[in-house]
Copies of this chain bind each other. A is one copy, B any other.
Amino acid sequence: MKIEYRNLRVALLGAGSVGSQVARLLLEQGDELASRVGAGLELVGVAVRDVDAPRDFDIPRHLLTTDAHTLIRSADIVIELMGGLEPAREYIHLAIASGADVVTGNKALLATYGPELFAAADQVGAQLYYEAAAGGAIPIIRPLRDSLAGDRVVRVMGIVNGTTNFILDRMDVEGDSFENALAIATDLGYAEADPTADVEGFDAAQKAAILASLAFHTAVPVESVHREGMTTVTAAQVDAAQKAGYVVKLLAICERLTDAETGVEGVVARVHPALISRRHPLAAVHDAKNAVFVQAEAAGDLMFYGAGAGGVETASAVLGDLVSAARRHVAGGPGVGESTHANLAVLGIGAVTTRYQLTLVVTDKPGVLAQIAGLFSEHGVSVEAVQQTVATAPIAADGSRSVDEPLTATLVIVTHEATDAALSATVAAVSANDAVVRVESVLRVEGDTP
Contact = CB atoms under 8 A, between A and B. Distances in A.
Interface of A: 21, 25, 29, 32-33, 35-36, 131, 137-139, 141-143, 146-152, 217, 279, 281, 283-286, 289, 291, 296, 298-307, 310, 312-313, 315-324, 327-328, 331-334, 339, 341
Contacts of A29: 152
Contacts of A310: 300
Contacts of A36: 149, 217, 339, 341
A21 B318 CA distance: 36
Nearest to A312: B298
Given A300-B137, A313-B299, A339-B36, A320 B142 contact: no
Given A137-B298, A137-B300, 15 more contacts: A25-B298, A131-B147, A142-B143, A142-B147, A146-B323, A150-B321, A150-B322, A300-B306, A302-B304, A303-B303, A303-B306, A305-B305, A327-B333, A327-B334, A331-B334
A305 B322 contact: no
A210 to B, nearest CB: 16
A360 to B, nearest CB: 33
A319 B302 contact: no
A147 B304 CA distance: 13
A193 to B, nearest CB: 25
Query: Nearest 6 CB-CB pairs, A to B?
Result: A333-B333, A150-B319, A139-B147, A284-B284, A299-B316, A149-B323
Nearest to A279: B286
A261 B102 CA distance: 46
5 contacts: A150-B323, A296-B316, A300-B307, A300-B313, A331-B332
B142 A317 contact: no
A3 to B, nearest CB: 10
A318 B143 contact: no
This chain: copies in complex: 2
A164 to B, nearest CB: 19
A320 B146 CA distance: 6
Contacts of A291: 303
A321 B299 CA distance: 13
A142 to B, nearest CB: 4
Contacts of A321: 150
A165 to B, nearest CB: 13
Nearest to A21: B298
B150 A33 contact: yes
A244 B322 CA distance: 44
Contacts of A286: 279
B137 A142 contact: no
A143 to B, nearest CB: 4
Given A300-B310, A305-B303, A35 B324 contact: no
A109 to B, nearest CB: 21
A151 B303 contact: no
Contacts of A320: 146-151
A149 B334 contact: no
Contact of A333 (B33, B131, B151, B331): B331
Interface hub of A137, A285, A322 (most chain B Cβ within 10 A) = A137
A319 B151 contact: yes
Given A143-B142, A341-B36, A25 B301 contact: no
A102 to B, nearest CB: 16
A131 B148 CA distance: 11
A148 B316 contact: yes
Contacts of A327: 333-334
A444 to B, nearest CB: 22
Given A299-B137, A302-B139, A324 B149 contact: yes
Given A317-B147, A318-B150, A299 B307 contact: yes
A303 B137 CA distance: 11
Contacts of A142: 139, 142-143, 146-147
B324 A146 contact: yes
Contacts of A151: 316, 319-320
Contacts of A334: 327-328, 331, 333
Contacts of A284: 281, 283-284
